[in-house]
Amino acid sequence: MQTRLKAYPNIESPQEVGDAIGEKAASDVTCLLARALRGKMETQKRGVMITGVNHTSFTVSDVNRSVSFYRDLLGLKLISLGERDPAFSEKVTGIPGAHLKVAYLQARGHRLELIQYLNPPGKKLETRTNNVGSAHLAFNVDDLPRLFADLKAKGVQFKSAPVEVLAGPNKGTLTVYFTDPDGITLELLQAPAVKPPKG
């Protein structure tokens, strides 16, 4: 069906389908074509659309130390680690003389980028979550109490014990905030158990 429609790129309305491919075929595709045309016009009005999320990125003071934290403690898979071409880094960041060392780690369903600025060195920001511009990354887990105890025993700094979310789309979920080696806030979430239907 899609191949037949592509053969008529100049069709601008469902009414023109009959003349192009015959009334019998037109009766099968008119609705689809109308939808495609509406979608095309809506896309043109909106412009370029975001199609997904590629990664989350944090700037860190020591990328090797951060890789050890996210890989060895949290279980993310290291995809790549290395320095970037300074000319490229300067152009893409807009920072004169930028020289970056970058790591990519893979979590289930999401990719994390960690960047260390070898040059110029940046300033440590106050990343408390009430400060404008502060961000955090949240991970879904299947046994939060066990993971909390394990990470705490290994020296990870938590902001509280796990608590239950009382409202919003995560209502009933267990959650806890903690920090990485640079004080960046992270979150662990465990969804509530699914109750079997009554009867």
Q: Contact 133/151 with Cβ under 8 angstroms?
A: no
Q: Which CATH class is domain 50-123?
A: alpha beta
Q: Contact 58/70 with Cβ under 8 angstroms?
A: no
pLDDT tens digits, residue range 10-53? 555 555 545 555 555 555 546 555 666 666 656 556 677 999 99
pLDDT tens digits, residue range 50-88? 999 999 999 999 999 999 999 999 999 999 999 999 999
Give the whole-angstrom CA distance, residue 81 versus residue 100.
11
Segment 173-178 shows an average pLDDT of: 97
pLDDT tens digits, residue range 129-157? 999 999 999 999 999 999 999 999 999 99
Domain chopping of the chain, boundaries:
2-46, 50-123, 127-199
Q: Residue 119 belongs to what H/E stretch?
A: strand 110-119
Do the two domains 50-123 and 127-199 of this chain adopt the same fold? yes
Query: What does the pLDDT read at residue 70?
Result: 98
Q: Which CATH class is domain 127-199?
A: alpha beta
Give the whole-angstrom CA distance, residue 56 versus residue 80.
15
Tokens 């009334």 — which residue? Answer: 23
Helices and strands, number each (H, E), in the chain? 6, 8
Q: Within 10 A of 153 (CB to CB), how many other CB atoms are there?
A: 8
Give the whole-angstrom CA distance, residue 168 versus residue 62.
36
